[in-house]
Structure 1
């Protein structure tokens, strides 16, 4: 017969004892809760017990933030009257220490400006926007986020070159730009020329379903001399497909 030490069950469980999750060290609780999104933390996790609430109120929990909205909620009343106030609360809890944020579908000018006004140290902004034209809020926010290093935008059908120029001029530290179009491809080099003109410090550029031609591609390669990686995917007006790595 095997000894008790060889049992596959922990001794605490054999004695009918169970670990109290509320007594976990704060740093371990924080590590677990960070696997949830901002909405789940504030609407559910922080209500579990007092110790979890204390952890959820700690500004260090809000250095990086994921706000994932289901697409079927985009035009719902709940989004603007329930979800958005919760997300604003998350920004407040960061106390100016927010460094990275990803937002799905809650891309309106008011909320983006709320973030920018309270997060001057932001380094990464990722947005998914289903509007026909990219929200002007992204541009207005970028004008205030002078330390921004990475901008990742998924948009439906169009992005104006004037908007990209403002972003490039306002964010001199921008190193990564990802533009992902989910709508129709329009043949145009204006976006590529705007990137080449105002973002010379780029190291990584990703274009998905962009209508640039070889003229636009050459402009980018000349205007962004520090570029280390260029990802071109479903860019049908040029012959190169995939990633160009220096």
Structure 2
């Protein structure tokens, strides 16, 4: 490829970007991320565009979470459908943040039936009916992550019934910085046990009981910020005999007394209600600020570019130079 400029730097004849082997291009594209492939890498030259458009292996795992916050994210809905199309029915992992809705999940289900991993973050426009339909139409789902959303307590039972092969389930919500405090009283939960309740706390066992009732093959469970109590956690431990890891950070209604600690002793890993959340990747106290100074425009294929950032083609070329030389030499 000769002539032209990228990022203000002329393209000279000694840069044979169009001659890079397919495997090297795939490595470059995976390093820069699929959003960058849609926005820039596929426009470098004909050979790069061919790989970007006609290699379904590149699109087996689609992650649409690295994007501007707020309303700007919704301009990525159509490009996401384009990415799904390019997977050629081989899509196995799909992650979306903010702009996931019923229409997008239906499009996903119409395009693949081999989905194994589904991650939905802050998809407040997504209905429980769409989640149920997706779970039903993706029979080999093994991992589901739902972080922040507007769903009733029945969603866990729905997912569990429709996904019998589910091995990993994350159903996280926002939490308070510290436990609620207030006058306490005892409630009998069995013939010989009582649970201490706080008048100011809000208990909700239904999500956890839905898991215990339906997700019997579960190996990994994360319920950060859940309002379940001790009774519901006991039900999960009884109903999920294969459970290996459990993350109940910020589940302040769970009292880890001696009995509960003994029940959890069989687990390989457990994160307790008061454990640190410093390694948690999401903000959990307040909604993200919708304000943004990022402006969007579109290329000839309708793929959005975001101004005010580093030149995307320049980034791609820099990575190509470093990766290509290492592989070829």
Does the C-alpha gap of structure 1 residues 44 and 225 become closer, same or farther in structure 2, counting only changes over 3 Å?
same
What is the aligned partner in structure 2 of residue 41 from structure 1? Answer: 37
Are 1:214 and 2:230 counterparts? yes
Asked if residue 164 in structure 1 is aligned to residue 159 in structure 2, the reply is no
Match of 2:61 in 1: 64
Once the two structures are superposed, the pairs formed by residues 88-127 of structure 1 within 5 Å of their partners are 88-127=81-120
Per-residue deviation, 1:38: 3.0
Kept after mapping to 1: 8 A contact 2:143/2:166: yes
In the comparison of the two structures, how many residue pairs are matched?
Answer: 224
Give the superposition deviation at 1:34.
1.2
Structure 2 residues without counterparts, runs of 5 or longer: 1-11, 177-200, 258-263, 269-329
Report the alpha carbon displacement of residue 116 of structure 1 after superposing the two structures with TM. 1.5
Matched, 1:200 2:193: no
Select the structure of larger CA radius of gyration: 2
Displacement of 1:54 after TM fit? 1.3
Q: Is the 8 A contact 1:186 1:210 kept in 2?
A: no
Which structure has greater helix proportion? Answer: 1
1:33 and 1:240 mapped to 2: Cα distance?
47
SS of the residue 1:110 aligns to? helix
Residues 171-198 of structure 1: per-residue CA shift (max 9 Å, x gap): 1110000112125695211001000001
Alignment equivalent of 2:134, drawn from 123, 130, 141: 141
Of 11, 17, 22, the match for 1:21: 17
**Displacement after TM superposition at 1:152 (Å):** 0.8
Alpha carbons of structure 1 residues 95 and 17: separation in structure 2 relative to 1, 3 Å: closer
CA distance 1:129–1:160, shift in 2 (3 Å): same
Higher relative contact order (Cα pairs below 8 Å, separated by 6+ residues): 2
Deviation at 1:212, TM superposition (A): 0.8
- SS at 1:178's partner residue? strand
Tell me, in whole angstroms, the C-alpha distance in 2 between the residues paired with 1:211 and 1:20. 58
Q: Which runs of 5+ in 1 are unaligned?
A: 1-15
Query: How far apart are 1:25 and its partner, in Å?
Result: 1.0
CA distance in 1, matches of 2:107, 2:13: 47
Report deviation, 1:134. Answer: 5.7
1:49 & 1:63 partners in 2: Cα distance? 23
* Helix, strand or coil at the partner of 1:98: coil
Q: CA deviation at 1:26?
A: 0.8
Deviation at 1:39, TM superposition (A): 2.8
CA distance, structure 1, for counterparts of residue 202 and residue 134 of structure 2: 26
Which residue in the other structure is 1:178 paired with? 170
Deviation at 1:139, TM superposition (A): 2.6
In 2, Cα distance between equivalents of 1:141 and 1:90: 18
Distance across 2 between alignment mates of 1:19 and 1:162: 57
Q: Report what 1:54 is aligned to.
A: 50
TM-score (norm 1): 0.83
RMSD, aligned α-carbons = 2.5
